[in-house]
Amino acid sequence: MKKADKKVIVAIITESLKKKPKGGARKKLREFFLENIGVVLRAEQLREVSGNISEWARRVRELRDEEGYKILSHNDRSQLKPGEYLLETAKPEPAFTREISKETRAFVLDRNGFTCQMCGAVAGESHPYDASRKTRLHLGHIIDKSQGGTDEASNLRAICSVCNEGASNITLTRPDFLKLMTQIRRATSPDQIEALKWLTTKFPKQAKLFVK
């Protein structure tokens, strides 16, 4: 092989390495999000930044799920349209949600009936306070870690993204019993039946005791 040919090959290889740096897409996306905190970014922009790779959306999910960046989509914020993304803060979420094992996560979600323990929203269904959002469940600590709470299943509960963000004030505090009963008594029969269905699913054993 001539020296000149070798040079050409080296140049080609260098060029191809430049185009496809290993793991580069995620890094580029991370940098782009961090340069645009609080800015609504569109899918087309993200695809372009990623180097036009088809898995750009997967890389965005990895930033969110593996690295803990609070990248919001229309499932988290009603102001966002499908295909729009927004990084809320530069600081990734505390790693605790990622340290909790898949088994614990599955156990807690199952125990909580895949239902947000603050507002009652069901995973995958439209959110009761915002029908445009699909309910996505997270695990929350019952006693905060800063107050000595642990990552044990007994200290964890399912919380939807709406309640997790504290986006809705109604969901922040549990309704007191009298107010709750007043609301239920004033509700329409179909809604009362829906509530009954939900309660009997949540408390099957107890429900049997009341049915004569």
Q: Quick one: 109 or 121, whose CB is closer to Zn ion?
A: 121
Q: Quick one: 10 or 180, whose CB is closer to Zn ion?
A: 180
- Touching Zn ion, residues 52-81 (CB under 5 A): none
> Shortest Cβ distance from residue 137 to Zn ion (Å)?
8
Q: Angle at the Cα of 133 (from 127 to 139), degrees rounded to 5?
A: 65
Q: Quick one: 50 or 171, whose CB is closer to Zn ion?
A: 171
The token pair at 163 is 């309640």
Q: Binding pattern to Zn ion, positions 112-131, x when CB under 5 A?
A: ----x-xx-x----------
> Shortest Cβ distance from residue 95 to Zn ion (Å)?
23
> Shortest Cβ distance from residue 72 to Zn ion (Å)?
16
- Report the 3 state secondary structure along the chain: CCHHHHHHHHHHHHHHHHHCCCCHHHHHHHHHHHHCCCCCEEHHHHHHHCCCCCCHHHHHHHHHHCCCCCEECCCCCCCCCCCEEEECCCCCCCCHHHHCCHHHHHHHHHHCCCECCCCCCECCCEECCEEEEECCEEEEECCCHHHCCCCCHHHEEEEEHHHHHCCCHHHCCCCCHHHHHHHHHHCCHHHHHHHHHHHHHHCHHHHHHHCC
Instruction: Using the Cα atoms of residue 195, residue 126, residue 59 and residue 140 in order, give the sign of their dihedral.
Output: negative
Q: Quick one: 49 or 118, whose CB is closer to Zn ion?
A: 118
> Shortest Cβ distance from residue 29 to Zn ion (Å)?
29
Q: Quick one: 16 or 169, whose CB is closer to Zn ion?
A: 169
Stretch that binds Zn ion, among 8-16, 53-61, 88-96, 109-117 (CB under 5 A): 109-117
> Shortest Cβ distance from residue 139 to Zn ion (Å)?
13
Measured between alpha carbons, how far is 25 from 53 in angstroms, rounded to an integer? 8
Number of residues that bind Zn ion (CB under 5 A): 6
> Shortest Cβ distance from residue 115 to Zn ion (Å)?
9
- Touching Zn ion, residues 140-179 (CB under 5 A): 160, 163
Q: Quick one: 28 or 127, whose CB is closer to Zn ion?
A: 127
Residues interacting with Zn ion, by CB under 5 A? 116, 118-119, 121, 160, 163
